[in-house]
Chains A and B, each alone.
Chain A
Amino acid sequence: MGLSLEQLTGWLAGVDEFWIQLAATIVKFIVVLLISLHVPPLMVWAERRIPALMQRRKGPNRVGIFRFRLFGLMQPLADTIKLIFKEEVVPDTAHKFFFHLAPVFVIFPALLVITAVPFGHPVTLGGYIFPMSVTRVDVGFLFVLAISSIAVYGISLAGWASNNKYSLLGGLRASAQMISYEIPLGMSLIPIVLIYGTLDLNEIVMQQQNVWGVFLAPISFVLFVVCMFAETNRAPFDMAEGESEIVAGYLTEYGTFKFSAFFLGEYVGMFTLSCLAATFFFGGWQIPFVSYETLVQISGSSLVASLIGMMVLLVKAAFFMWLYIWVRWTLPRFRYDQLMSLGWKFLLPLALANVVITAAVLVALQASRL
C-alpha cells in the first residue's frame, strides 16, 4: 500500500465517471459475493456448536490446523472437501437438464437480492458518490420482493426433475408454502414503506437513525420474522425436507456438489433475509444516537465510517442468523395443514389489518398536524 488516500482520490478525479462507477460496482460485487459465500460455512459450524452448548455436548471441536483446534472451525472445510469428492449420482429416470438447472435457481436469487442491501452510507471519494450497495435501485423494496419470489422455481424444479415421489412431494410442499408465505411477507413490509414514504432501501435506513422500525411497526416485525422462517424453509417450517415423513424431500436424489449448492443457496438466502430484517426493522447500518457525520469526524474518513456501518449491519444480521439456529433447536416441526392455516387464516388477515391500521394512524397524525 504505497498509495495514500489523497493520491488515490486525486487520480480518480481525472477519469470518466462511468468507468469509475463500473469499477466500483465490480469491486463491491466481489466483496459482497465473498462475504455471502463465507457465511454458509460459518453458519454450518455455528449450527453444530450452538445446539451442542444448548444440550451440554461438545459438538465438533477436533478439526483444526496441525495442533491448533480453533474450536473445530475447520470442520466445514473438511465437510466441503468430502462433499465435492463424493461420486456424483444422477438418477436414470431424472429429467437431466432440469436436474442440473435446479440448484442454479436456488443460489442465483439469493445472491441477487443481497446486491440491493445498503451496507453503509454512500461514500464520497474524489468528488464521486459511491452508494454502498452493489446495485442502487430506486424501487429497491420491490426489487427485493420480486427477485426473492424466483427462489421457488429451484425447489419445485428439483422436486419434479428428480422423478421421485418423495422429491415431488417435497417440491410441491415447498412451493405451496413459499407462495403462501410470500404474501404476508410482502404485506408485513407495507407499513414500513407507508411510515418512511419511500421504496429506496438506503433512504429507509437513513430515517431510522434514532428510532428503529421495530418500535414503529412491531406487528410487522413479528410477521416478517415468522414469514422469514417459512420463506427459507427453516425449522419449524422445514416441511420441504421433513425427513420423518418424506425421506429428504426435494433433496432426496441430490448428492455431492449439487447438494452443497442447495445448502449454499439456503444459507445465503437466510443471510439475505437477515440483512433485510436488520435493514427494515433494526436500523440497518446505523448506530443508534450516533449520526453518520459524527462517525466521519471520529474516524476521519467517510470510507472508514461506511465500513464501520457495514460491520454494524453484519452484527445485526448475525443476531438474526443466531435466531434461526435458536428457533430450530427449540421448536418442533409444524404439521403441514397447521402451516397452511397459520399462513392463510392468521398471518394474512393480521397483515392486512396491520396495513389498514397503520395507514389510518398515519392519516390521522397528518390531519392533526395540519
Chain B
Amino acid sequence: MAEVIVFYSIASLLVFCSIMVVTRKNPIASAIYLVGALFLVAAVFAFLGADFVAAIQVLVYAGAIMVLFLFVIMLLNIDPELLKSPPMTAGEAAVLILTILSFIVISVTVFKGQLVAPVGELTTQEIAKNGGNTAVIGLALFMKYVWPFELASFLILLAIVASVVIAKKDKKKLTGDQADAERNMVGDLR
C-alpha cells in the first residue's frame, strides 16, 4: 500500500511538472519545471531500485545539461512580447483533441491490465546476485557492448570538436581593436 501511495504521488507531481514545462510562457520557468520533472523521473528510477540510473539521471540531466539550457536562455534574454502565441488554428485544435482521446484510450488499456510490459532477464533478484546495479551496468557496457559504447563516445567527441570549429571565428579577418577584444575574450580557449 505504501508503495502505491509513494508511486502515485511521484507520478502525479511528475505529470504536473511536465504540463507546466509546456504551458509556461516564461522560458526560465519552463526550464525550472523541467529540472523538477527530471528529478522526479530519477525518483521513479530510485523507487524501482535502479539507484545507479537515478543518480546518473540527476548528475547528467539536472546537474549539467539543464544548467547549460538555463545559461543560454538567460543570455538570450528574450522579449516577453515575442513569446505570445497566436490563437489556435483548426488543425491545432484537431491535433489537441486527438491527443487527449488517444491518451484516454492508452490509460484505459493500461489500467485494465491489457498492456503489460515484458520482463527482461535482469530482475531485481538477478541484479542483487550479480553484485548490484553499478556492477551489472558496468559489465554490460564494458564487456558486452564495449564497441557500440566506444563508438558513441567517439561520435560525441567528434561533435564537440566540430562545434568548436564552427564557432571559431577566422583570425585573419579581424583587425586592430576588434582583434584585441577578440583575443581577450577567447584567449583562454585557444
Residues of A within 8 A of B (CB): 95, 97-98, 101, 137-139, 142-143, 145-147, 149-150, 152-153, 156-157, 160, 168, 171-172, 175, 179, 182, 199, 337, 340-341, 344-345
Given A138-B132, A175-B71, A199-B134, A160 and B28 contact (CB-CB distance below 8 Å):
yes
Q: How far is the CA of A146 from the CA of B32 in the complex (A)?
A: 17
Given A139-B133, A172-B74, A179-B64, A98 and B58 contact (CB-CB distance below 8 Å):
no
Q: How far is the CA of A355 from the CA of B70 in the complex (A)?
A: 31
Q: How far is the CA of A197 from the CA of B150 in the complex (A)?
A: 23
Digitize B29-60: 1 where CB-to-A-CB distance is under 8 Å, 0 elsewhere: 10010010000000000000001100110110
B133 touches A98 (CB 8 A): no
Residues of B within 8 A of A (CB): 26, 28-29, 32, 35, 51-52, 55-56, 58-59, 62-64, 67-68, 70-71, 74-75, 132-134, 187-188
Q: Which residues of B contact A95 (CB under 8 A)?
A: 26, 28
Q: Which residues of A contact B64 (CB under 8 A)?
A: 149, 179, 182
Instruction: Tell which of B32, B59, B63 touches A98, judged by Cβ atoms closer than 8 Å.
Output: B32
20 contacts between A and B (CB under 8 A): A95-B28, A97-B29, A98-B28, A98-B29, A138-B132, A142-B59, A146-B58, A146-B59, A152-B63, A156-B71, A160-B28, A171-B74, A172-B74, A172-B75, A175-B70, A175-B71, A179-B64, A179-B68, A182-B64, A337-B187
Q: How far is the CA of A97 from the CA of B24 in the complex (A)?
A: 13
Instruction: Tell which of B32, B51, B67 touches A137, judged by Cβ atoms closer than 8 Å.
Output: B51
Q: How far is the CA of A182 from the CA of B75 in the complex (A)?
A: 22
B58 touches A138 (CB 8 A): no
A138 touches B59 (CB 8 A): no
B118 to A: closest C-beta gap in Å: 26
Q: How far is the CA of A337 from the CA of B184 in the complex (A)?
A: 9
Which residue from chain A places its CB closest to the CB of B50 in the assembled complex?
A139
A153 touches B35 (CB 8 A): yes
Which residue from chain A places its CB closest to the CB of B70 in the assembled complex?
A156
B32 touches A138 (CB 8 A): no
B61 to A: closest C-beta gap in Å: 10
B134 touches A150 (CB 8 A): no
B51 touches A139 (CB 8 A): yes
A150 touches B62 (CB 8 A): yes
B8 to A: closest C-beta gap in Å: 19
B63 touches A146 (CB 8 A): yes
Which residue from chain A places its CB closest to the CB of B56 in the assembled complex?
A142
Q: How far is the CA of A344 from the CA of B51 in the complex (A)?
A: 30
A22 to B: closest C-beta gap in Å: 10
A168 touches B51 (CB 8 A): no
A146 touches B35 (CB 8 A): no
A156 touches B55 (CB 8 A): no
Q: How far is the CA of A147 from the CA of B35 in the complex (A)?
A: 12
Which residue from chain B places its CB closest to the CB of A168 in the assembled complex?
B74
Q: Which 10 A-B pairs have the closest CB atoms?
A: A149-B63, A142-B55, A146-B58, A146-B59, A139-B51, A160-B74, A146-B55, A341-B188, A139-B55, A337-B188
Q: How far is the CA of A142 from the CA of B59 in the complex (A)?
A: 8
